Amino acid sequence: MREDDSGPASDASSPPRRVSRRSFLAASATGAITGLAGCSSLNLTSDETGDSSGSENATVADRPDAVYYPTHVDGMLLSGVRKANGYACALTYTMPHAFWLVTGERATRAGPTADDEIHVMPVVWDAETGQRLTDLNPVLRFRDGGRVLTSDAPWPMLAQQMGFHFGDNVALPGGGTYDVTLRVGAPAARHTGALATPDSATFDFSLAYSPKELDAISYRTLDQAGERGAVEPMDMTAVPSAALPKPDALPGRLLGTGTAGDAAVVATVLDDATRFGGDDSDVYLAVSPRTPYNRYPLPMAGLDARVGGTTHDLRETIDGELGHHYGAAIGGDVEDAPVTVSVDVPPQVSRHEGYETAFLDTPRVTLGE
Amino acid sequence: MSDGPSRGIDRRAFMKSALAIGGASALSACLDRTSDEDVPRGTTETDPSSLPERQHAWNDALARDDAGNPEPVQHRLLLLLDYDGDGAPSDADRRTVADALDALERAYAWRHDGLLSTMAYSPAYFDRFETDLPESVDLPAPTALASFEDPALDTPDAILHLASDHAHVLLAVEQALTGETDALNGVSVDATLTDVFSVAQRRTGFKGDGHPADNQDARGVPTSKPVPDDAPLYMGFKSGYTETQASEDRVTIESGPFAGGTTQHASHMRLNLEQWYEQDDREARVGKMFCPYHAEHDVVEGAGDNLGTDAAMSKAKPAAEAAETDGFVGHSQKMFGLREDGRPLILRRDFDSTDGGHAGLHFVCYQRAISEFVATREAMNGDDLAGDSPLGRRDNNGILQYIDVANRGNYLVPPRSLRALPTPRGDA
């Protein structure tokens, strides 16, 4: 048994217990794994500090069913960047936030509670290609000394400035320094090309924050709040870009670009499908739905494509060159046939303000006509 | 003390915290506050055959709900025990363990309002012997059971699971096992379990309507105290429907020296009830616990007492179809495909806990072979679903999102006649 995970209560009035040699050795063997000390937080944004009292949870009264400018944008802080097993991970955080969870075709608002201290926003990417990984569902354990205070599995989430990340509000006892272990398991999507595919990876951080530091995080209200559009991506020097390639920068033969609901949909055909599980005579159809304006991926959707009378399930894939997309190896070619892409299940990714009313329907779009 | 309506709840909450704290002073405080110290005594002296040979044969000794489902025993204590000796245990120690456990059953009736128990042994314990367990026993060492989990792997020699509707019974039993008292419910106790074992860890908990709501002062539970008053478990729904449990026959080892025994898995997991209650809404909770159909059609009333003996799972579409068309799947729905003759492979005897100061679940279950638990957990993981649908590894994938597995352990529950320091061949 490991001391740090022993969990169950120990109290002066409980029966005396001796530590056996075996459990002592087990504790010693794993006790050396502790967080890396000496983190310094970096403010990643240059906005002026404003009064954010309570208004970080405001929403626009009359929201379009489309991507729109949120009421405000916040700054964020970086606890550190770690690498393990071919992945890299940045642990960023800010003040607690409202966000929306998506279950099927419903988006429900999750407001912060009085217990929440911070909004954690880990970002995980493939260390070699820089592709942000949307499919890992990390678990964070917060420790104070050796004891696990709490666990949290942040949601896969989309925000206008930050793009794809994992995010959640976390209840902690208060400002201080916490050892945070972040673990990811096997990816849910297919990883292809140069992308790493470890079965798991663990990153150790030391997260130090104070209420004063959180209060000083920049906050800017937006005059365009509620209008269609999106805030520009922030420049995060420590973290690779969240944007997908522009259509003409995608490899392969571009079939076309269309819109499905509020999403931009780009399709390209690669002559070589072998790295996607196809055989020599197959081509590979890659469909890349993305947010308008900022070209962020829309993960965890159910898509199929109808080509020449046959319907193909599109498999969620992250590739070193194509980035996040949905694809299928197809026999023959798609040269003369239009491709009709149907969204069967909307992207189940959680959303920050400005994305929660978009991408909730199940449209279709025909490309290459 | 007032006799007003809050008195019962105060007392109930007190009993649970007393059990979590443990010790003589907790017992004494507990008895000061209780009016139900008159617990039925055991019948083993007059009728030694009154106890079932299967230690896990609890169902005939449990209360029943209106639909006929067994009611959970309300208070629980798990003692993780390390054998103090080196190598294989001695016959003298074996007699001590037998006597210490026999005393419990002389003192208390084998009933939910008396005392129920199982004594079980780990793979690490059987490593003390030169011979291996027979092939009729499937008992691998514990491992992590999903790529995203990182549990501590428990390796005590033995685990004693004690259950009673009275918290003070468990506290008194613990006093007797540790030599702090030589009388239990008016019966003399002549052997002390801790002369042979050290208590490596004690884990405590509770289950049943109202208990979780009374115990929301723990990390992992929002201060809004959102757990419904009538919920038997923290997550708000009941679990032990007759048809969502394996029968005791189904989990019993059928052949070899441990015929009549079973295997036990015991894990401890932390629960994130802020996400469950404050971020998800009831429709999402019903959908993720049962299936999208139950959420869409408002099938579940309250904690699910209206769902008969089968949680109405015949309404659920296959998990793979739900993943493709609904975008999320329910926990029960994922397990449905694994049923054999209409029922699961494992018998849950799980309970909630505030161990470590955090809301949690001790998932204690019994099955004929550990591989059947592993298969059950693999169905719960839904890896095949996550790889080929909008589901994440945890997100929208049943209740995986809300659980962090902290510990796992595997054990063999011998038949009662072999429960004291058995050899791998059952010949001592």
- What pLDDT digit, counting tens, does each position of B286-318 carry? 999 999 999 999 999 999 989 888 888 888 999
Q: How far is B256 from chain A (nearest CA, A)?
A: 31
Q: What is the mean pLDDT of residues A6-34?
A: 31
Chain A residues with CB inside 8 Å of B174's CB?
Answer: 15
B125: enclosing H helix or E strand: helix B123-126
A312: which strand partners?
Answer: A305
Q: Is A227 domain-assigned?
A: no
Q: Which two tokens stand for residue B159?
A: 């685990």
Share of chain A above pLDDT 90, in %: 77
What is the DSSP pairing of strand A190-192 with strand A310-319? parallel
Q: Nearest CA to B36 among B115, B113, B117?
A: B113
Confidence of residue B107 (pLDDT cuts 50, 70, 90): very high
For position A29, what pLDDT does the model report?
Answer: 28
Smallest Cβ–Cβ distance between B394 and the set A1, A137, A344 belongs to A137
B219, β-bridge pairs: B358
Question: What is the share, in percent, of chain B residues with pLDDT greater than 90?
Answer: 81
- Establish if A240 belongs to a structural domain: no
| Residue B4 to chain A, least CA–CA distance (Å) | 31
Taking contacts as CB-CB distances below 8 angstroms, the residues of chain A near B158 are none
Is position B51 within any domain? no
Residue of A nearest to B19 (CA): A14
Query: Rounded to whole angstroms, what are the CA distances from B352 to A151, A319, B216, B269?
Result: 17, 43, 11, 9
Q: Using the beta-carbon criterion (under 8 Å), do B327 and A346 form an inter-chain contact?
A: yes
User: In whole angstroms, what is the distance from residue A139 CA to residue A144 CA?
Assistant: 17
Please count the helices (runs of H) and the strands (runs of E) in chain B: 12, 12
CA–CA dist B12, B272 (Å, integer):
24
Contacts (Cβ under 8 Å, ≥6 apart) of A219? A47, A49, A50, A51, A52, A56, A72, A73, A74, A75
Total domains in the fold of chain B: 1
The pair phi, psi for residue A28, each rounded to 5°, is: -65, -40
How far apart are the two ends of chain A, measured CA to CA in Å? Answer: 63
Task: Indicate if A315 and A291 belong to the same structural domain.
Answer: yes
A302 and B406 in contact by Cβ < 8 A? no
Has residue B5 got a pLDDT over 60?
A: no
B376 phi and psi, to 5 degrees?
-65, -45
Any domain includes B4: no
Cβ pair B134, B184 in contact under 8 A? no
**Which domain, by its residues, includes A20?**
1-31
Query: Would the CB atoms of B148 and A185 count as touching at under 8 Å?
Result: yes
Nearest CB to B356; choose among A9, A171, A189: A9
Interchain proximity A185–B149, CB inside 8 Å: yes
Phi-psi region of A293 (alpha: psi -120 to 50; beta: other; left: phi over 0): left
CA-based nearest distance B158→chain A, Å: 13
* pLDDT at residue A2 greater than cutoff 80: no
Whole-number Cα distances in Å, A265 to A268, A276, A359, B148, B279? 10, 20, 12, 32, 30
Looking at the structure, do residues A12 and A84 belong to the same domain, yes or no? no
Report how far residue A2's alpha carbon sits from residue A288's, in angstroms, rounded to the nearest whole number.
Answer: 45
Residue in chain A lying closest to B154 (CA): A1
- Both tokens of residue B291? 């299936």
Q: Supply the pLDDT for residue B16.
A: 61
Judged by CB atoms closer than 8 Å, whether chains meet at B147 and A200 is answered as yes
What digits encode the pLDDT tens for the residues B79-99? 999 999 999 999 999 999 999
A272 and A145, same structural domain?
Answer: no
Residue B427 covered by a domain:
no
CATH classification of the domain holding A209:
2.60.40.2480
- A164 shares its domain with A309: no
| Strand-strand pairing, A163-171 and A147-152 | unpaired
Exposed (0-12), middle (13-18) or buried (19+): which is B394, by Cβ within 10 Å? buried
Query: Which residues lie across from A228 on neighbouring strands?
Result: A68
Q: Are residues A141 and A275 in the same domain?
A: no
The verdict on A171 and A119 lying in the same domain is yes
Using CA atoms, how far residue B422 sits from B129, B159, B384, in Å, is 10, 13, 40
CB A336 within 8 A of CB B383: no
Nearest in space to A95 (alpha carbons), one of A355, A357, A352, A361? A352
Mark whether A210 and A299 lie in a shared domain: no
Distance CA A299, CA A323 (A): 11
Average confidence (pLDDT) over A232-260: 94
A vs B, Cβ pairs < 8 A, gives: 222
Helix (H) or strand (E) holding B170: helix B167-177
Q: What is the DSSP annotation of A299-314?
A: -S-EEEEEETTEEEEE
Angle at A215 between CA A210 and CA A220, to 5 degrees: 145
Taking the Cβ of residue B87 and every Cβ of chain A, the question of whether any pair is shorter than 8 Å is answered with no
Give the pLDDT band (50/70/90) at residue B32.
confident
Q: Is beta strand A176-184 parallel, antiparallel or unpaired with respect to A139-144?
A: antiparallel
From the CB of residue B306, how many other CB atoms can be counted at a distance below 10 Å? 11
Give the pLDDT confidence score for residue B12 in this predicted structure. Answer: 57
Instruction: Confirm whether B272 is domain-assigned.
Output: yes
- Distance from the Cα of B64 to chain A's closest Cα (Å) equals 30
Give, in degrees to the nearest 5, the angle at Cα B240 between B236 and B245: 140
State the DSSP H helix or E strand holding residue B410, giving kind and residue range, or none if neither: strand B403-413
Do A174 and A290 have their domain in common? no
Q: What pLDDT is recorded for position B14?
A: 66
Residue B157 sits at the chain A interface (C-beta within 8 Å) = no
| Together in a domain, A85 and A7 | no
Nearest Cα residue to A343 out of A268, A273, A286, A289: A289
Positive or negative torsion for Cα B128, B133, B139, B140: positive
Say if residue A264 is in the same domain as residue A323: yes
**One-letter amino acid for residue A246 of the chain:** K
Closest CA to B347 of B241, B272, B418: B241
CB A157 within 8 A of CB A167: yes
More confident residue, B99 or A60: B99
The helix (H) or strand (E) run that includes residue B123 is helix B123-126
Task: Please tell me the distance from the alpha carbon of residue A369 to that of residue A341, in angstroms, as a whole number.
Answer: 13
10 Å CB burial of residue B84 (0-12, 13-18, 19+) is middle
Tell me the per-residue pLDDT of A269-325, one tens digit each, with 9 for 90 and over: 999 999 999 999 999 999 999 999 999 999 999 999 999 889 999 999 999 999 999
Both A20 and A70 in one domain: the answer is no
CA–CA gap between residue B151 and residue B129 (Å, rounded):
27
Who among A6, A13, A106 is closest to B22 (CB)? A13
Cα separation of B276 and B258, whole Å?
41
When CB atoms are compared, the residue of A108, A141, A346 closest to B281 is A108
The answer, yes or no, to whether residue A27 has pLDDT greater than 90, is no
Taking alpha carbons only, the member of B324, B341, B338 closest to residue B385 is B324
Report CB contact under 8 Å: A115, B222.
yes
State the residue range of the domain holding B225.
11-39+69-418
pLDDT at A33 over 70: no
Instruction: Give DSSP secondary structure letters for A254-272.
Output: EEEEEEETTEEEEEEEES-
Determine which of A139, A191, A312, A356 to mutate to test the interface with B (most B C-beta atoms within 10 Å): A139
Tell me which of B17, B269, B389 to substitute to probe the interface with A (most A C-beta atoms closer than 10 Å): B389
Section B269-286 average pLDDT: 97
CB nearest A137 (choices: B274, B326, B395)? B395
Tell whether A230 is covered by a domain: no
Give the pLDDT band of residue A354 (cuts 50, 70, 90): very high
Tokens of residue A131, six digits: 């592709």
Determine how β-strand B403-413 pairs with β-strand B152-153: parallel
Tokens of B206: 């509770």
Separation CA B397–CA B214 (nearest Å): 29
- Which residues in chain B have Cβ-Cβ distances shorter than 8 Å to A156? 392, 395
Q: Would the CB atoms of A1 and B152 count as touching at under 8 Å?
A: yes
pLDDT at B15: 63
**Averaged pLDDT, B267-279:** 98
CA–CA gap between residue A330 and residue B223 (Å, rounded): 54
Chain B residue with minimum CA distance to A155: B395
Q: Please tell me which of the candidates A4, A103, A111 has its beta carbon nearest to residue B284.
A: A103
Contact residues, chain B, for A346 at CB < 8 Å? 327
- Chosen for mutation from A109, A133, A137, A169 (greatest number of chain B CBs closer than 10 Å) is A137
Distance, CA of A268 to chain centre? 24
Helices B24-33 and B167-177, interaxial angle, to 10°?
150
Residue B222 lies in a domain: yes
- How many domains does the structure of chain A reveal? 3
Indicate if A58 and A160 belong to the same structural domain. yes
Residue A22 has pLDDT above 60, yes or no: no
Report if residue B265 sits inside a domain: yes
User: CB distance B268–A200 less than 8 Å?
Assistant: no
